[in-house]
Structure 1
């Protein structure tokens, strides 16, 4: 989640997409994505850069529009509904970005939405939005020099997990709000400055199989952190490498197969439980610097922020997931 400089990097990235991504070949019987289509378009000039997704039971998509500081809902017909606008802050100074941005989003079972807001001020943290929208309320504050990016909610334990891209760690925050504590840290979560014009460590984050999974953009890795019985973090495990530009991701089912957004190269990769991966969607399918993936039944949703595409094409794309059992 970063507004990248266009400069000469666009051409470099276009070449890199073909030279760096050399995925393993697809195997027979693996899930495939078909029928990709753009269901909603946004205005890059207005800051409407789709960053993250939380789905409603009916398949409507709640999206954060990072630089517009907005949360919108897109229904099955592509109709936009504005739910909330995060408050403007004076002199924002978000690490690596400068401007204030709304990033990760999750939905509680009762329909309440929670988002990360990164500002470089005391407004940085988790904000709550009612099921039908309204005025956002800050429920937890994070340090001004943090960049809260991915957000995960464990309602059973009553906690949030926040991936901090600037500090390179995972925060844990009570569901009711309050004090954030460092839950997981270490070099595997930290940035190394290997990105294009920015540094990004821990980025996307999901709960799956009694563990917290985290992507590290700079290190091109997908990590698994077991949650111990007492709620503390276990040893960080590297489950996949070589995922150039990995941002957010989603699991396709009960096993550890992942669909990952590779933002820099405008691709979606299917990452197998053994760590190998196959590219399953690319720019011709409608991708434009994808940032997040979500799944509802057999429909895959992808947000495309189009941070350094020329011309920009921010959009929400869907595709059909075929696991061979349809």
Structure 2
């Protein structure tokens, strides 16, 4: 996610210049069909869906960034607030200025982990227990950074967080403690002005022995191998030309990805060879999509409406056909 009100007009104009890399449709590759909006939110109340995980019952659990809330949307579109992160006095969050609930991860026991960007000492990872108790900060991250997407590796007991401003992937113990800068480098950093908008590492997933990261400014999808000693291997660029890429999800056990292209209100299918094509657009209901979750043959796409003229933050569901394996949220 990123939100740059002072640059919105410029960025919107740039949409017309967007060029997508695409290749021929491969035999048997996944297709996305039957998109439908299942829940809508109130932009005026800060209900901007930012990130998503799925519950065991198929419900969607979302962060509403500027409302600082975590909400659950059931299969019928009914909404229930699970938690609200504390208000912050004088937030000074880089890029956006306001405090925002960003990435979310879920453990097998239902514990939720939320990345909170505030520009203060409250910046970091917050834990939301299944019993409904108040959220608790368990990891403090630098106030001048921007923790965005988050992923949990329960097998190793660690959390990974993409820092969009510092161009860093942080790693921290699942139960809390001091973070370490697990991966850094040019490939993760934002581009300097005027070439970029100050948003580097953004989306993040743990998949097939690696941490995958999108870089919004550089329009790339990256893979960072996890070595045997759990350190970061050399950063690999797996796809380029992904204009306005935000977060993403894998369609199954392979390396095919569905990526949210936030400014263009598009969902792209990214093939393992790096070529990609558009599979959903604003005409299907997308309104600045921020993230993706896949389970079985169902795709979930939250839209935050940060930039659209008609504000329609929503949750869209669609059917995934022709994929193999269980997707991961």
TM-score, L = length of structure 2:
0.95
Q: What is the CA distance between 1:14 and its match in structure 2?
A: 4.5
Give the SS at the match of 1:161.
strand
Query: Which residue of structure 1 aligns with residue 187 of structure 2?
Result: 188
Superposed CA deviations along residues 226-265 of structure 1, whole A, max 9, x for unmatched, are: 0011110000000000000000000011110000001111
Query: Which residue of structure 1 aligns with residue 16 of structure 2?
Result: 15
Cα distance in structure 2, aligned partners of 1:140 and 1:299: 33
Query: Which residue of structure 1 aligns with residue 84 of structure 2?
Result: 85
Give the SS at the match of 1:45.
helix
Query: Which residue of structure 2 aligns with residue 122 of structure 1?
Result: 121
Superposed CA deviations along residues 269-291 of structure 1, whole A, max 9, x for unmatched, are: 10000010011111100011100
* Consecutive unaligned residues in structure 1, runs of 5 or more: none
Cα distance in structure 2, aligned partners of 1:175 and 1:325: 30
Q: What is the CA distance between 1:176 and its match in structure 2?
A: 1.1
Cα distance in structure 2, aligned partners of 1:292 and 1:61: 12
Cα distance in structure 2, aligned partners of 1:299 and 1:227: 29
Superposed CA deviations along residues 116-136 of structure 1, whole A, max 9, x for unmatched, are: 000000000000001253310
Q: What is the CA distance between 1:208 and its match in structure 2?
A: 0.6
Superposed CA deviations along residues 45-72 of structure 1, whole A, max 9, x for unmatched, are: 1111100001001110110000110000
Q: Could you tell which deviates more after superposition, 254-263 or 130-139?
A: 130-139
Instruction: Note closer, same or farther for the CA distance 1:10–1:311 as it changes in structure 2 (3 Å cut).
Output: farther
Q: What is the CA distance between 1:162 and its match in structure 2?
A: 0.5
RMSD: 1.7
The answer on whether the counterparts of 1:260 and 1:270 sit within 8 Å (CA) in structure 2 is yes
Give the SS at the match of 1:162.
strand
Instruction: Note closer, same or farther for the CA distance 1:229–1:325 as it changes in structure 2 (3 Å cut).
Output: closer
Cα distance in structure 2, aligned partners of 1:4 and 1:26: 35
Query: Which residue of structure 1 aligns with residue 52 of structure 2?
Result: 53
TM-score, L = length of structure 1:
0.96
Q: What is the CA distance between 1:10 and its match in structure 2?
A: 6.5
Q: What is the CA distance between 1:20 and its match in structure 2?
A: 1.9
Query: Which residue of structure 2 aligns with residue 3 of structure 1?
Result: 3
Number of aligned residues: 324
Cα distance in structure 2, aligned partners of 1:167 and 1:324: 35
Q: What is the CA distance between 1:138 and its match in structure 2?
A: 0.5
Cα distance in structure 2, aligned partners of 1:178 and 1:266: 37
Q: Does residue 1:101 correspond to 2:100, yes or no?
A: yes
Give the SS at the match of 1:313.
coil
The answer on whether the counterparts of 2:148 and 2:164 sit within 8 Å (CA) in structure 1 is yes
Q: Does residue 1:202 correspond to 2:175, yes or no?
A: no
Cα distance in structure 2, aligned partners of 1:157 and 1:325: 26
Give the SS at the match of 1:291.
coil
Displacement over 6 Å in runs of 4+: 194-197
1:113-262 to structure 2, matched below 5 A, reads 113-193=112-192, 198-262=197-261
Cα distance in structure 1, aligned partners of 2:46 and 2:273: 38
